């Protein structure tokens, strides 16, 4: 890969003719799921660093579903848009390859009540056609339920969906309804799966709501702009499309380290310089 720190941290806005929104995933921070003030404190940092919105795990807000209006008011006072509430699990429903339906219902109902704009789900890989077809139907069902409750819906990929020339992700796009099923394109996972991320974005931008950005050097995660990933072609594709979705800093670590602002601050600078936002 091309070493890119100097490239990414070049002239502000040089490639950003479009106007995406800048957001942050909160998984770079340690958050006490039993203390809502813990999340609110993180969101104070997100706002101070100049982001427009945030994405967070359902676990960080589910404790507020029973007191949704108070939580909604508190989140509104952060002056951040609640881009999405994300269901990521270590084990998924064996038939649907996404979260169990009861959990999806609960997070849509509660997420909408606290002000989340969309439900985001991750899922298990589906290497055989029958499993993929079942997953597509489950995703459309979740998208329809979210839509009927005033939320958008998007699927977050990992590397498996992009292996074998992106067979799984392409088939999911073919077998789902465009008005129900969109993507949160995790660019780092997609690249690890062998994708040409800029080319994939150019073909499917109308169904991409957000892009998770990350960086690594020699397989070790580092803050965006300090590693080997060259996102210039992706930034150029975003500009050409005049795309107004979200670019989100996702500074999670396989080591479970929580670097917080030490990683999110340079990531914010990298997004600003790459995308001009």
pLDDT > 70 fraction of the chain, expressed in percent and rounded: 94
Give the model's pLDDT for residue 3.
36
- 15 pLDDT exceeds 50? no
134 close to 96: Cβ distance less than 8 angstroms: yes
Give the model's pLDDT for residue 8.
36
CATH no. for 5-275: 3.20.20.150
Give the model's pLDDT for residue 18.
54
| Model confidence band, residue 114 (pLDDT cutoffs 50, 70, 90) | very high
- 73 pLDDT exceeds 90? yes
Give the model's pLDDT for residue 276.
94
Torsion from C-alpha of 219, 247, 190, 126, nearest 10 degrees: 120
User: pTM for the complete prediction?
Assistant: 0.92
Give the count of beta carbons closer than 10 Å to the beta carbon of residue 102.
9
Bridge-based pairing state of the strands 215-217 and 220-222: antiparallel
217 close to 188: Cβ distance less than 8 angstroms: no
């Amino acid at each position: 890969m091309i070493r890119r720190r100097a490239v990414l941290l070049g002239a502000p806005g040089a490639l950003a003719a479009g106007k995406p929104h800048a957001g942050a995933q909160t998984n770079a921070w340690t958050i006490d799921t039993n203390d809502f003030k813990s999340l609110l404190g993180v969101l104070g940092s997100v706002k101070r660093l100049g982001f427009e919105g945030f994405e967070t795990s359902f676990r960080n807000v589910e404790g507020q579903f029973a007191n949704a209006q108070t939580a909604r008011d508190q989140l509104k006072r952060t002056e951040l848009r609640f881009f999405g509430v994300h269901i990521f699990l270590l084990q998924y429903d064996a038939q649907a390859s996404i979260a169990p339906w009861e959990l999806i219902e609960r997070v849509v109902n509660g997420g909408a009540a606290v002000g989340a704009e969309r439900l985001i789900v991750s899922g298990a890989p589906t290497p055989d056609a029958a499993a993929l077809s079942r997953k597509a139907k489950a995703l459309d069902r979740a998208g329809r339920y979210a839509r009927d409750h005033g939320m958008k819906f998007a699927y977050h990929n990992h590397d498996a969906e992009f292996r074998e020339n992106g067979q799984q992700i392409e088939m999911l796009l073919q077998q789902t309804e465009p008005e129900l099923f969109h993507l949160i394109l995790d660019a780092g996972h997609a690249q690890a799966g062998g994708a040409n991320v800029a080319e994939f974005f150019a073909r499917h931008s109308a169904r991409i709501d957000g892009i998770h950005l990350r960086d690594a050097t020699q397989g070790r995660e580092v803050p965006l702009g300090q590693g080997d990933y060259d996102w210039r072609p992706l930034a150029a594709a975003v500009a050409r499309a005049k795309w107004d979705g979200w670019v989100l800093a996702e500074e999670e670590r396989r080591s479970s380290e929580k670097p917080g602002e030490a990683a999110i601050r340079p990531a914010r600078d990298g997004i600003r310089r790459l995308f001009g936002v």
